[in-house]
């Protein structure tokens, strides 16, 4: 456990400068936008030049960019992400309200993709070159090339519009009054299609990685040693080959967290899920730069946290981590 | 080189990829000749069903625009963004990675933290923000996509430089008195390139997908037709004319598939060549 | 009175790779005596490992086998792990890096002796003690990377003898280790084989080692068996020029090598 703690501390420390760069970079990126939050405010709510002036003074928008960056960083440190003009609410509230939906969506998509990806990957990798292997690798390659938002449309066309098995949009039935288990079931039904649309590409990715990883592990000496012990084939495949091939997949899980979060922007728009990703789209549409900024910073934090969790999982799965002989 | 080409042609993946990409390039190149009119212009009644009108083989969309023309012109946008975004990403990434690997010390540390920073921000979100700030146009989209893609080549190039750095010929170049920068770009870069190139197919594919997603969200270049915008447009009549959204999607699938297969063929042919040596 | 454990007659093994067929063993006739210690020597690529794999029935699918291997010393076709234990060259890679030592040592015994959890654990403990791993209790829950090369090879040996096989095949089990550790492992193998009455097939490049450990020596070259006989006879009065030259080069090399390595 000590090992995990050391690892976590090192990771957290090293992510501080990274987060700082994200904040600075995003700040200057959005600085390039024409007009500031006050302009956006005036456009939506109306007001004269005098109001604009006083608002700018109040939010420090009349100061130099560096001074404002300093102000922004200061308020970030107090967990204050600022105020969204478009939604007329504190940005942090807005994000915290939207985040759970996205976490459910992403979490389910990752769980689905990882479970089925590894399972099918094991089936394919257990006998390289077999018919099952060929079918699965061709299928996964095709799936891997499908854009998630288009897959979402096709899935909703078939399963929601035509077959009516699942609802077309939203995260739950509005004003249904459902509670407890019934509500969970309702949400699950709403999530099936978006989770599939978001997760299938990763399912294909994990399948392909698992298969390739197993092909690699089959050539290792310890697999021959395991065969020389006369173990059952099942045990060799699962305990020796798949167990080792799983490790790079876990690393991939962390790397894909950012991509998946990006993917949720489109999927949430397709399925009208009021989540974090859709919020990003809405922020862009409303030209709400501070909101967009807050979204980017929070997503970076989220990705860092997921990576930390993945690192801990990896350390748990690979006893070599932290002993100076970790495999690269 | 010839043997390499032969090997590539003999691998089924490479062959299928090559054919798919060749069709795509042909579509993109022929589009202005076959359909000289702006594909965004209205040519007939809205929502003509496909295969009903000989002059409009794939029918028209909600506004009466030629679907086939859009499909062929759309290939241009996908290809352009895919290729140029990958070029920019690989160029920037390779330079940054090489500099970091060679400079070492504080510069390396700083550059790698920047790479980390770009990797913890979702590439799509970054592209979204960049396009929303600078306004949607094809060059901006190319750059926006490259923004999220250069870190892979940078890491790879750096790793490669670190491994090559201490090998003999760099030491020899040092002894001759070449400037470190000269060594970096004359000796190391060409050697670090092959594995970076292997990454290119992944970058091109993801660039095509990101561009499509951006234009699906109405953040693409409004003056040209793209497959993403066609899918978004068709979505409005998804129940009555699903064809309009589905067909451009197949264009995307086949493009991405072609890129992956082509890349896989290349990597396989390269691996064989290395195995020989 | 020695009985024969295995008889090989006209044994040929070829590998098929990219359409071409290469012979790794060609028409080999060889007997392995019950309780005997056979050393197999020969240069790299002469087919030694292939012979080991063929004996254990572990040839890869691209290999095809002709001729016969009979087991008059056993009343059934041998099963790898239960009747034949194998130790490989590189102890660094022949243990699974992510499984505990306890699991890896006991899994063969669990499979072939149908042991329960507790007995398997006790068995692993005994085995680790037998191969003289310090603190076997702690070693059960440890992982391969926590041991030295020599200790890993001891653990690999424990894995190989877990189900009390009749035949132990050591394929260059000491080549990857340094001198002193090599001697220790050799001694350990010697002890184990003697105590359990196992037969031993010992593959090596090192003629001195063969001389020390084996009662019979078989010399391979280019996939063929060049000569086989009692160790003393093969070493003292080799019947083939090739064997003579092997012995000669060994003597040539061994003397100055120590000095070279220090320079
Ligand atoms: N799986 C395989 N596929 C194709 N050829 C093989 C395979 N395994 C071994 N060979 C070939 O068979 C021949 C004998 O190999 P083998 O490993 O038995 O030699 P060896 O005597 O054990 O050599 P070494 O002392 O280097 O271990 C070699 O020419 C080798 O290239
Ligand atoms: Mg060998």
Q: Is the pLDDT reported for residue B71 higher than 50?
A: yes
Cβ neighbours of residue A136 closer than 8 Å, sequence gap 6 or more: A120, A121, A123, A124, A207, A211
Please report which confidence band the pLDDT of residue B228 belongs to, taking 50, 70 and 90 as the band edges. Answer: very high
Residues within 5 Å of ion ligand 2 by Cβ? C 49
Assess whether chains B and C touch, using the rule of 3 or more C-beta pairs within 8 angstroms. Answer: no
Q: What is the pLDDT of residue B98?
A: 86
Q: Is the pLDDT reported for residue B68 higher than 60?
A: yes
Q: What is the pLDDT of residue C254?
A: 43
* Residues in chain A closer than 8 A to C56 (CB atoms): 228
Q: What is the pLDDT of residue C29?
A: 94
* Residues in chain A closer than 8 A to C90 (CB atoms): 221
**How remote is the C-alpha of A61 from its chain's centroid?**
33
Q: Is the pLDDT reported for residue A234 higher than 60?
A: yes
Q: Is the pLDDT reported for residue A74 higher than 90?
A: no
| For residues A92-105, average pLDDT | 93
What is the C49 CA–ligand 2 centroid distance (Å)? 4
More confident residue, A85 or B83: B83
ipTM score of the complex? Answer: 0.89
Please report which confidence band the pLDDT of residue B277 belongs to, taking 50, 70 and 90 as the band edges. Answer: very low
Q: What is the pLDDT of residue C260?
A: 39
- Determine if ligand 1 sits within 6 Å of the CB of residue C18: no
What is the helix, strand, coil percentage profile of chain A, to 5?
A: 75, 0, 20
CB-CB contact of A42 with A52 (8 Å): yes
Please report which confidence band the pLDDT of residue A173 belongs to, taking 50, 70 and 90 as the band edges. Answer: confident
Q: Determine whether the interchain pair A258/B261 forms a contact, defined as Cβ–Cβ distance below 8 Å.
A: no
Structure confidence by residue, pLDDT tens digits, A289-327: 889 999 999 999 999 999 999 988 988 888 888 765 444
Cα dihedral A249, A255, A256, A258 in deg (nearest 10) = 160
- Determine if ligand 1 sits within 6 Å of the CB of residue C45: yes
Q: Two tokens at A304?
A: 């860092």
The pTM for the full model equals 0.86
Q: Is the pLDDT reported for residue A222 higher than 90?
A: yes
* Residues in chain A closer than 8 A to B260 (CB atoms): 141, 144-145
Q: Is the pLDDT reported for residue C261 higher than 90?
A: no
Please report which confidence band the pLDDT of residue C252 belongs to, taking 50, 70 and 90 as the band edges. Answer: very low
Structure confidence by residue, pLDDT tens digits, C121-146: 999 999 999 999 999 999 999 999 99
Q: What is the pLDDT of residue B275?
A: 46
Q: What is the pLDDT of residue C30?
A: 94
Of the partner residues B123, B130, B219, the one whose CB lies closest to the CB of residue A258: B123
Nearest ligand 1 atom to the CA of C17 is 4
Q: Is the pLDDT reported for residue A32 higher than 80?
A: no
Please report which confidence band the pLDDT of residue C59 belongs to, taking 50, 70 and 90 as the band edges. Answer: very high
Q: Determine whether the interchain pair C96/A247 forms a contact, defined as Cβ–Cβ distance below 8 Å.
A: no
Q: Looking at CA atoms only, how far is residue A249 from chain C in angstroms?
A: 15
* Residues in chain C closer than 8 A to A240 (CB atoms): 96, 99
- CATH architecture for residues C1-78+169-190+200-263: 3-Layer(aba) Sandwich (3.40)
Lowest mean pLDDT, pick from A128-132, B247-251, C16-20, C102-106: C16-20
Any A CB within 8 A of B109 CB: no
How many Å apart are CA A303 and CA C210, to the nearest integer?
A: 59
Lowest mean pLDDT, pick from A56-60, A173-177, B104-108, B214-218: A56-60
Nearest ligand, CA of residue C60?
A: 1
What is the A49 CA–ligand 1 centroid distance (Å)? 86
Of the partner residues C79, C93, C111, the one whose CB lies closest to the CB of residue A222: C93
More confident residue, A120 or A70: A120
Residue of A nearest to C165 (CA): A229
More confident residue, C201 or A129: C201
Nearest ligand, CA of residue C12?
A: 1
- Determine if ligand 1 sits within 6 Å of the CB of residue C256: no
Share of chain B above pLDDT 90, in %: 40
Lowest mean pLDDT, pick from A149-158, B247-256, C229-238: C229-238
Q: Is the pLDDT reported for residue C81 higher than 50?
A: yes
Question: Which residue minimizes the CA distance to atom 13 of ligand 1?
Answer: C24
Q: Is the pLDDT reported for residue C256 higher than 60?
A: no
- Chains in contact with B, where contact means 3 or more Cβ–Cβ distances below 8 Å, are A
The values of phi and psi at residue B80, to 5°, are -60, -50
Q: How many CA atoms lie within 13 A of C235 on its CB side?
A: 20
Residue of A nearest to B119 (CA): A258
Q: What is the pLDDT of residue C242?
A: 82
Q: Determine whether the interchain pair A244/C143 forms a contact, defined as Cβ–Cβ distance below 8 Å.
A: no
| For residues B193-197, average pLDDT | 66
Domain B2-276: which CATH number of 1.10.560.10, 3.60.110.10, 3.40.50.620, 1.10.3720.10: 1.10.3720.10
Share of chain C above pLDDT 70, in %: 94
| For residues B254-276, average pLDDT | 77
Average pLDDT, chain B: 85
- Determine if ligand 1 sits within 6 Å of the CB of residue C46: yes
- Determine if ligand 1 sits within 6 Å of the CB of residue C153: no
Average pLDDT, chain A: 87
* Residues in chain C closer than 8 A to A320 (CB atoms): 97-98, 143, 145
Q: Is the pLDDT reported for residue C259 higher than 70?
A: no
Lowest mean pLDDT, pick from A146-150, A178-182, B126-130, B184-188: B184-188
Q: What is the pLDDT of residue C67?
A: 92
| For residues A211-218, average pLDDT | 91
Q: Is the pLDDT reported for residue A213 higher than 60?
A: yes
Of the partner residues A221, A229, A243, the one whose CB lies closest to the CB of residue C159: A229
- Determine if ligand 1 sits within 6 Å of the CB of residue C12: no
Please report which confidence band the pLDDT of residue C258 belongs to, taking 50, 70 and 90 as the band edges. Answer: very low
Q: Determine whether the interchain pair B125/A266 forms a contact, defined as Cβ–Cβ distance below 8 Å.
A: no
* Residues in chain C closer than 8 A to A228 (CB atoms): 56, 58, 80-81, 84-86, 88, 160
Nearest ligand, CA of residue C62?
A: 1
Q: Two tokens at C24?
A: 């790794």
CB-CB contact of B182 with B98 (8 Å): no
Q: Is the pLDDT reported for residue B51 higher than 70?
A: yes
Integer CA distances (angstroms), A60 to A48, A84, B89, B222, C70, in order: 18, 16, 37, 35, 92
Please report which confidence band the pLDDT of residue B186 belongs to, taking 50, 70 and 90 as the band edges. Answer: confident
Of the partner residues C56, C94, C112, the one whose CB lies closest to the CB of residue A221: C94
Nearest ligand, CA of residue C14?
A: 1
Q: What is the pLDDT of residue B6?
A: 79
| For residues A48-72, average pLDDT | 75
- H or E element in which residue C225 lies: strand C224-230
Nearest ligand 1 atom to the CA of C51 is 18
Please report which confidence band the pLDDT of residue C255 belongs to, taking 50, 70 and 90 as the band edges. Answer: very low
Q: Which of A230, A239, A322 to mutate to test the interface with C (most CBs of C within 10 A)?
A: A230
Q: Determine whether the interchain pair A265/B242 forms a contact, defined as Cβ–Cβ distance below 8 Å.
A: no
- Determine if ligand 1 sits within 6 Å of the CB of residue C16: no
- Determine if ligand 1 sits within 6 Å of the CB of residue C24: yes
Instruction: For domain A97-278, give the CATH superfamily.
Output: MetI-like (1.10.3720.10)
- DSSP for C10-60 reads EEEEEEEETTEEEEEEEEEEEEEETT-EEEEEE-TTSSHHHHHHHHHT---
Helices (H) and strands (E) in chain C, counts: 9, 9
Q: Is the pLDDT reported for residue A182 higher than 50?
A: yes
Structure confidence by residue, pLDDT tens digits, B159-181: 888 877 767 666 777 777 777 67
How many Å apart are CA B62 and CA B246, to the nearest integer?
A: 14
Q: Is the pLDDT reported for residue C262 higher than 50?
A: no
Which among B104-113, B232-241, B258-267 has the top mean pLDDT? B104-113
| For residues B248-255, average pLDDT | 94
Structure confidence by residue, pLDDT tens digits, B15-49: 899 999 999 999 999 988 888 888 887 777 777 77
| For residues A252-262, average pLDDT | 88
The values of phi and psi at residue B19, to 5°, are -65, -45
Q: Looking at CA atoms only, how far is residue A38 from chain C in angstroms?
A: 58
DSSP C146: G
B187-194, Cβ contacts within 8 angstroms, sequence gap of 24 or more: B188/B98, B188/B101, B188/B102, B188/B160, B188/B161, B188/B164, B189/B94, B189/B98, B191/B160, B191/B164, B192/B94, B192/B97, B192/B98, B192/B156, B192/B157, B192/B160, B192/B161, B192/B164, B193/B94, B194/B270
Q: Is the pLDDT reported for residue A1 higher than 60?
A: no
């Amino acid at each position: 456990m000590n090992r995990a703690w050391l690892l976590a501390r090192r990771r957290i420390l090293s992510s501080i400068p990274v987060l700082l760069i994200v904040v600075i970079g995003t700040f200057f990126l959005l600085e390039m936008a024409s007009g500031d939050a006050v302009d956006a405010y005036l456009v939506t709510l109306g007001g004269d030049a005098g109001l604009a002036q006083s608002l700018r003074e109040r939010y420090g928008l009349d100061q130099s960019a560096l001074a404002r960056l300093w102000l922004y960083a200061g308020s970030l440190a107090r967990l204050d992400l600022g105020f969204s003009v478009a939604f007329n609410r504190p940005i942090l509230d807005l994000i915290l309200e939207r985040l759970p939906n996205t976490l459910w969506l992403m979490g389910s998509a990752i769980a689905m993709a990882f479970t089925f990806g590894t399972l099918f990957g094991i089936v394919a990798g257990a006998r390289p070159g077999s018919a099952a292997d060929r079918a699965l690798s061709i299928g996964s390659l095709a799936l891997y090339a499908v854009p998630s938002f288009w897959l979402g449309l096709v899935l909703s066309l078939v399963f929601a519009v035509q077959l009516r098995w699942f609802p077309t949009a939203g995260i739950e039935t509005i004003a249904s009054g459902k509670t407890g288990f019934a509500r969970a079931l309702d949400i699950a039904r709403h999530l099936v299609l978006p989770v599939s649309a978001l997760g299938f590409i990763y399912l294909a990715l994990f399948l392909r990685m698992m298969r390739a990883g197993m092909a690699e592990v089959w050539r290792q000496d310890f697999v021959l040693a395991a065969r020389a012990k006369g173990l059952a084939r099942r045990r060799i495949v699962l305990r020796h080959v798949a167990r080792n091939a799983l490790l790079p997949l876990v690393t991939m899980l962390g790397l894909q967290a950012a991509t998946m979060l990006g993917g949720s922007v489109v999927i949430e728009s397709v399925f009208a899920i009021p989540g974090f990703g859709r919020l990003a789209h809405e922020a862009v549409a409303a030209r709400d730069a501070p909101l967009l900024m807050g979204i980017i910073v929070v997503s970076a934090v989220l990705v860092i946290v997921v990576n930390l969790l993945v690192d801990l999982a990896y350390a748990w799965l690979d006893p070599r981590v932290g002993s100076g002989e970790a495999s690269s | 080189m010839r043997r390499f080409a032969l090997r590539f042609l003999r691998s089924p993946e490479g062959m299928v990829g090559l054919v798919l990409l060749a069709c795509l390039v042909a579509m993109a190149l022929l589009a202005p000749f076959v359909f000289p009119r702006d594909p965004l212009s209205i040519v007939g009644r809205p929502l003509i069903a496909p295969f009903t009108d000989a002059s409009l083989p794939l029918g028209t969309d909600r506004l009466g625009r030629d679907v086939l023309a859009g499909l062929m012109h759309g290939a241009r946008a996908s290809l352009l963004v895919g290729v140029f975004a990958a070029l920019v990403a690989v160029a920037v990434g390779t330079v940054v990675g090489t500099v970091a690997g060679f400079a070492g010390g504080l510069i390396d540390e700083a550059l790698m933290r920047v790479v980390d920073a770009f990797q913890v921000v979702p590439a799509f979100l970054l592209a979204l923000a960049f396009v929303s700030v600078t306004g949607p146009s094809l060059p901006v989209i190319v750059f926006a996509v490259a923004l999220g893609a250069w870190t892979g080549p940078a890491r790879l190039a750096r790793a490669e430089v670190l491994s090559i750095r201490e090998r003999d010929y760099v030491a020899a170049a040092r002894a001759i008195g070449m400037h470190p920068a000269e060594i970096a770009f004359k000796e190391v870069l060409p050697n670090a390139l092959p594995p970076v190139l292997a990454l290119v197919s992944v970058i091109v594919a993801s660039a095509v997908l990101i561009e499509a997603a951006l234009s699906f969200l109405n953040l693409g270049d409004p003056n040209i037709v793209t497959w993403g915008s066609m899918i978004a447009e068709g979505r409005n009549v998804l129940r009555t004319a699903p064809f309009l959204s589905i067909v451009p999607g197949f264009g995307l699938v086949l493009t991405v598939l072609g890129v992956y297969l082509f890349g896989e063929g290349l990597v396989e042919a390269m691996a064989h060549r290395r195995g020989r040596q | 009175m020695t009985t024969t454990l295995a008889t090989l007659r006209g044994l040929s093994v070829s590998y098929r790779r990219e359409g071409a067929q290469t012979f790794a063993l060609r028409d080999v006739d060889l007997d392995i005596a019950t309780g005997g210690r056979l050393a197999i020597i020969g240069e790299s690529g002469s087919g030694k490992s292939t012979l080991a794999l063929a004996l254990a029935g572990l040839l890869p699918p691209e290999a095809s086998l002709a001729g016969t291997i009979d087991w008059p010393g056993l009343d059934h076709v041998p099963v790898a792990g239960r009747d034949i234990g194998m130790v490989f060259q590189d102890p660094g890679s022949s243990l699974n890096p992510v499984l505990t030592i306890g699991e890896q040592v006991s899994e063969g015994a669990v499979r072939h002796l149908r042991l329960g959890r507790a007995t398997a654990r006790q068995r692993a403990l005994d085995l680790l003690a037998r191969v003289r791993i310090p603190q076997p209790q702690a070693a059960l829950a440890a992982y391969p990377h926590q041991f030295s090369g020599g200790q890993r090879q001891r653990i690999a040996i424990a894995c190989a003898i877990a189900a009390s096989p009749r035949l132990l095949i050591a394929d260059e089990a000491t080549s990857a280790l340094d001198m002193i550790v090599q001697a220790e492992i050799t001694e350990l193998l010697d002890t184990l084989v003697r105590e359990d009455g196992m037969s031993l097939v010992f593959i090596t490049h090192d003629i001195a080692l063969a001389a020390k450990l084996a009662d019979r020596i078989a010399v391979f070259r280019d996939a063929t068996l060049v000569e086989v006989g009692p160790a003393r006879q093969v070493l003292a009065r080799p019947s083939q020029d090739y064997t003579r030259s092997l012995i000669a080069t060994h003597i040539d090399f061994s003397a100055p090598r120590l000095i070279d390595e220090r320079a």
